[in-house]
Structure 1
């Protein structure tokens, strides 16, 4: 059970009474008559064979209020796509799979590439972007949620709580971010959020002052969660990052487009665990190493768009301030873990901070050397202006794939 404190500049919905999921779903079923709801599931084919997704599908099969489930399927050949169709066939809701590597969607991707409008690299951002376009094309939903497919502690109450703030017609929220504590197997997890994002935000506030954007980011209790919901029309105007900066990038985009009074966060789980990324200390292309680098670049780019002057000397100051702030937080996390009977490896925590410190400098150098980088995929609003019937043709391609014509 969480506290009721409202800190920061976005509204926080707490889990104060452990309200039964059936009561939440009864409300959502009523809301769905005025505000139909959908769900986006970005998935790798390998996740169909993992420990989490089968349970997620079983839980979703019991959800009574969803009008549509859109599954983005990456890294799948024809036989694997057919297996995925069978795997998801037990969902009673209307559902469609985007076979992103199939010939029809690949042809549309090539068409977009010719106009420099396609995602520039594979990954979750690309998957989510195409799923968003399909949701807009299908027009079945006016509120849509998104969550990952590797949540081993999943239950359908997570989705109910995630959608409730944007689905309730009497509420005025357009975007909602899920949060939860990262505790599993007697350990305190969530290293990138705890040891990189939070101390970096606070270091940036010390260096540049309490900018509204930094105050906004610091209001989120778990800014890197992969679970969020929004009104469907929000999807049309946001630009989605294609790299590991997806979650921070989405927060930045909704802050750019919407009043903070229309943004909120909600406690969706007492227990949450998913696939853990390795640190990848010696591999800058993967794991927490790559993730921290992309997140830092995303934050520096956003500050630049806000008119914050950033120079090479600035990054050295940011690095030193971050490092001291992160080390102080390790002490706080260690004490918190001990009081709650949890384990925390201070040596590995400090190693992670040293890696993140180096990546902050590298991200700064990359930012200064490549000012013309285009990290965001264009918004669907822009795509529609360039190719008027693209969404409609994508909808038809997905229908043909799902009806068996593959």
Structure 2
């Protein structure tokens, strides 16, 4: 059972009483009469062939309060898109599959490319960005939730708890982030959060000084969680990253645009497991190695926009401070794992810290070489200003794809 401790600069909503999912859904169904709810599912075609998405879809068929589900489909040919439409046809809610590799959406993407407004690389950021745009084009969704399609421990209570703070008519929150413990096969997970984010933020506080942004990020118990919900007007204004810095970038954008008083995190699960990325120690373009670089760059860029001045010497100091902080925390995690009868490989943990320390320098050097790099995708307000009819044509293209 979670505690009720409030720390940091945002509200934490706990799971204290084990309220039934049926009770939550009754309230959400009532709230949805005045505040319609949509869900975004970014998916690779390969996930349709795995056990995680099959269970997710089965659980979603029981959800009574969703008005719209949008599935962003990547890496699918025509035959696979047809299969995906059939696969998701069991959903009782209004839903659409966005065939990102299809000729209609590809042509529209090319239009934006000519204006310098399209995503330049494939990935989750691009998928989510277009799904958000389609939701905005519908003009009938007030709250948008998002979660991944590889959650092995999924149940519909996760979604209910995630959406509740943003849908509730009395609550002030415009954005909510999910959190949970990462445990899989009796092992303590969440390496990037535990071994990179937390000690890096502490190192940055020591080297750069106390900072509201660092305190904000450190307020989140699981800042890399892929589950969040927001009011639709939030989507219009934010510029999400196209790389692995998506989750950190979304938090940074929400903080830039809104008061901390309307931002919350919510306990959505006692256990969470999903597809695990390889460490890819020998290749900085893949797996957790690339993730650590992109996340570090996202934090450095944001600090720079707040006036922090970086140099090669400062990055070396940050790396050294991080390394000591991270090694010290391994003891904490090891003891926590032992007390809960979980396993934790100290050698693997230390190897991860060594990799992340090297990649902090890679991220710092990359930033210094190209400080004007802008991996953020434009806001949909920017797209609407450049091509006012784009979203309506995009929605029509999706409708034609799904009708055929």
The one-character-per-residue Cα deviations of 1:139-180 (angstroms, maximum 9, x if unpaired) are 121011000000010000000000000000111100000000
What is the distance in 1 between the residues matched to 2:33 and 2:92? Answer: 18
Counterpart position of 2:364? 364
Contact 1:38/1:69 (8 A) holds in 2: yes
Secondary structure at 2:292 match in 1: helix
Counterpart position of 2:352? 352
What is the distance in 2 between the residues matched to 1:201 and 1:371? Answer: 20
Q: How does 1:37-48 map to 2 (within 5 A)?
A: 37-48=37-48
Bigger CA drift: 202-211 or 361-370? 202-211
What is the distance in 2 between the residues matched to 1:123 and 1:8? Answer: 32
**Cα offset, 1:374, TM superposition:** 1.4
Counterpart position of 1:15? 15
What is the distance in 1 between the residues matched to 2:373 and 2:222? Answer: 27
What is the distance in 1 between the residues matched to 2:234 and 2:39? Answer: 14
Counterpart position of 1:241? 241
The one-character-per-residue Cα deviations of 1:49-97 (angstroms, maximum 9, x if unpaired) are 0120011000000000000000000000000000000000000000001
Counterpart position of 2:377? 377
Counterpart position of 2:310? 310
Which consecutive aligned stretches of 4+ in structure 1 deviate over 6 angstroms post-superposition? none
Secondary structure at 1:18 match in 2: coil
**Cα offset, 1:34, TM superposition:** 1.0
Q: How does 1:65-214 map to 2 (within 5 A)?
A: 65-214=65-214
**Cα offset, 1:367, TM superposition:** 0.2
What is the distance in 2 between the residues matched to 1:105 and 1:306? Answer: 37
What is the distance in 1 between the residues matched to 2:385 and 2:146? Answer: 26
What is the distance in 2 between the residues matched to 1:317 and 1:141? Answer: 47
Counterpart position of 2:26? 26
What is the distance in 2 between the residues matched to 1:209 and 1:167? Answer: 37
**TM-score of the two chains, using structure 2 as the length reference:** 0.99
- Structure 1: runs of 5+ lacking an equivalent: none
The one-character-per-residue Cα deviations of 1:101-121 (angstroms, maximum 9, x if unpaired) are 000000011000001100111
Counterpart position of 2:299? 299
Aligned residue pair count: 404
What is the distance in 2 between the residues matched to 1:85 and 1:299? Answer: 38
What is the distance in 1 between the residues matched to 2:171 and 2:213? Answer: 24
Bigger CA drift: 61-70 or 279-288? 279-288
The one-character-per-residue Cα deviations of 1:265-324 (angstroms, maximum 9, x if unpaired) are 000001110001110111211110010010000000000111111111110110011000
Contact 1:68/1:140 (8 A) holds in 2: no
What is the distance in 2 between the residues matched to 1:81 and 1:372? Answer: 38
Counterpart position of 1:55? 55
Contact 1:72/1:128 (8 A) holds in 2: yes
**Cα offset, 1:372, TM superposition:** 2.0
The one-character-per-residue Cα deviations of 1:314-370 (angstroms, maximum 9, x if unpaired) are 101100110000001001000111111110000000000000000000100000001
Secondary structure at 2:144 match in 1: strand
